[in-house]
Structure 1
Amino acid sequence: MDSYTLIWVRDARSRPVQFAIPKYRVKQAGIAAAVVMLIGLVGTWDYWRLRADNAELAELRVEAFEQREQITLFTNRLEEVGQQLTRVMDLERKVRIIANLPGTAGVGGDDLAELAPHVEGEVALPVGVPIGMGADDSSGFESRNRRGGQGGGGPLPEFGSSSAHDVFFESLDHRAVELGDGASARADSLEVLLGQLDDKRQRLVSSPSIWPSKGWLTSRFGARVSPFTGLRQHHSGIDIAAADGTPIHAPARGRVIFAGRKGPLGNALVLDHGFGVKTVYGHTKEILVKTGDTVERGDRIALIGSSGRSTGPHLHYVVEVKGKTRNPLDYIFD
């Protein structure tokens, strides 16, 4: 038989109804039903897979957003650290310039020259090595930087799970904060050192240290017999005899606070060098500066003469420290 017969009886009195269904139709219907079920199963599986993927994608988006925020924060930290390190390097350069340390280069132009050139037999400090650390310590300094930088710390965690990412960024952020604090503390320390060095430099620049004029030392500081009275008296400075018109030079940076006639000193000049130090120049022939002028060490300020109470052309040179006269020879180093 090539077909299936279905008999449908509505009730006992009704005539049975027969249906003949070919077997290939039944097979086709079964195949169609199986295909529909398969498609339904595939569709259901794909739906739940997409739903799970969407949920995972949403989580990844949240995680990516958080990581972007962490990266932004870390970038800002690094910028702050970079600014602090730039400040430290600039301060170190200034300190090296003031202290005339090796590794200091001139500023301006392409041809940079070291202010403190390398001396044969001495080990020059490499540029960038922190002050107080010798050349032999530079390798250790670099290795410490590779190990974790200033502030110490162990190795960074490896990337892996989400928690590992969090630990990694927290570690980087913590280390950036440590580096920034360390750089800031170093910069503050260098600023204090810079101020002290600058103060010392100003003191050195403003401290009398050279002969004010060429000539012959004819009278020293202290007790002596006066050439005018024949009596023993205190001589407040030194006398330097020289030819009339010999130049007088400023022994240090200073400001002219007096220029004119000053009793027995004749044409006199007074320089204020700051820090309580003043110098006086008496018996000059001509004063080449005026009150209020600022002079530097070595500038010509007057000419030797014999004005006032004098026995011949010479310079009467006085050094005062906080109002008290001192032996000028203690302030001459050349």
Structure 2
Amino acid sequence: MKNSRFTIFLIPSNSPKRYEFTITRKTIITALVAFCVVISIFFVIVIHYAFMRDMAWENLELKKENQILSQSLRDISSETKKLTDALNRIEVFKNKIKLLANINDTERNLSIGPVEMGKTDNLVNVKSLEDLSYLNNSTKIMRLSILNSRIQLLSSEFDSAQKDLEEVSRFFEERKEILRSTPAKWPCYGWITSEFGFRYDPFTGEKTFHKGLDIATSMNTPVLAPADGIVVSTGFHSGLGNELVIDHGLGIVTSYGHLSEFKVKIGDRVSRGQVIGSVGNSGRSTGPHLHYEVIVNGINVNPRKYIIE
């Protein structure tokens, strides 16, 4: 049986010839095995192709999801950064507004007085995410969750800031006289060449206390009243040259030195923004500039603490 043979005859219908093929049992078994192997390989290839196609489709979906998550992270981070910056500006502005009146309202818990500008330690600072390609999707989802939490916190901070500003607005409505008397406006625009505080005297080189701000600008630049008040002094002094003094009431006085001319006289009532003189170079001066002082209850204070515009 091991060496049995099979003979196959092929006889064409239109020919007397016949074709004879003889194959062994071993050949048949080998052919069947080869056929099964081929079929198996074919099915493996088909299954592998289907698997790879599914993987490619899944990778494409993951890539799209990754791009959407990355863009969402960038958008949310950017918006959160904008909200934080805006809230910081509101906080600084609120502090300056509170400083204007230089009084306290214990009933409303609105402390008005010298405070440190721009202190916003309680705020959340968020940096923009520029490169997210190295993050996997789970990390990005986690960061989205964190950013959403930060946005909720910022929203809460905005509500609190809005309530504070509404309180301050009502507070000032009742105290318009204080606002009108507070030197909240720059008397002129230019370059600050000497700040308030200790400095080296440009003439002697010695360290002395500078009682105001020196604002360098063009000769004859208009000098404006920073608040409502009454002119109480105009005259020449050896140090400040042509000096003008305005009493704003409530213990607040402002002084303007080195003027080239006066536009008002003693006794005149002036309004915020009104021209009161011109920048000059009179007195002990190294060039055209305005020496600007703010005195509260007889004590010189830094004018910057009151300026909001």
Give yes or no for TM over 0.5.
Answer: no
What TM-score, normalized to structure 1? 0.41
What TM-score, normalized to structure 2? 0.44
Larger RCO: Structure 1 or Structure 2 (Cα < 8 Å, ≥ 6 residues apart)?
A: 2
> Which entry has the higher C-alpha Rg, 1 or 2?
1
